[in-house]
Amino acid sequence: MEQYKKICQGKTAFCFVGGSRGHHYQGLFAELGIETVLAGYEFAHRDDYEGREIIPDIKLDADTKNIPDLHVEQDQRRFKLKVSPERLEALKKEIPLSDYKGMNVEMKDGHIIVDDLNHYETEEFIKLLKPDIFASGIKDKYVVQKMGIPAKQLHSYDYSGPYAGFKGAVKFAEDVAMGFATPTWNFITPPWKNKPILEGTIEEGGCSKC
């Protein structure tokens, strides 16, 4: 990882990805020396931000009632524990299994947590905070790349990956470092920098209907 850390050290990131990725990928960024200054989700619930401990206190609303309340029972013929109940209880004392504290706990003071970020807000936050990389889904990358910022697609592995396990962490570091090291942006000039997108003329004379 060291060769990639040298490239990534001191950079900042936006991490706007669903499915807890907006939170958990911050750990990988931090290992590379990248600080996540803005993070959030598109379709998150309160427990994604505030942790599982608040679930019992969440009041049902119209939106919540659209989600069916599922009750699942184990099939005694097919269900087999990989770890004994005794071993599981012992592990819980060492590892916070099933104990999710939420994104809010780990975000530093002064950093920004956003929910349901739109394109206008994306542009304004980029102008304000000037991140070095923007991690999100595929639909956001075009706005970001037009502003000259590397975009890392984290919703799926259609471009690279997978990022599972130790080898996946190294692959992630390689991909992020390549985003910073590529000379691509030095060769790209937006077309509106050379020629106006809109052109018009001013006609002399009064209104034809007057």
Answer with the residue of higher pLDDT: 61 or 163.
163
Answer with the residue of higher pLDDT: 205 or 195.
195
Q: Helices 165-181 and 21-31 meet at what angle, rounded to 10?
A: 80
Residue with tokens 């599982």: 52
> Over 90: is that where the pLDDT of 79 sits?
no
The pLDDT of residue 21 is 86
d(CA 12, CA 14): 7
pLDDT digit string (tens) for 112-132?
A: 999 998 889 999 999 999 999
> Over 60: is that where the pLDDT of 208 sits?
no
Answer with the residue of higher pLDDT: 18 or 10.
10
The pLDDT of residue 80 is 83
Q: What is the mean pLDDT of residues 99-103?
A: 88
Residue type, 77: R
> Over 90: is that where the pLDDT of 83 sits?
no
Domain parsing of the chain, residue ranges: 2-52+101-194
pLDDT digit string (tens) for 136-171?
A: 988 888 888 888 889 998 887 777 888 888 999 999
85 is written with which tokens? 């109940």
The pLDDT of residue 92 is 87
Select 2-52+101-194's CATH number: 3.30.70.270, 3.40.50.1980, 3.30.9.10, 3.20.20.210: 3.40.50.1980
Please list the alpha-helical segments (H only) found in 41-183. Answer: 46-50, 85-94, 103-106, 119-129, 141-146, 165-181
The pLDDT of residue 159 is 77
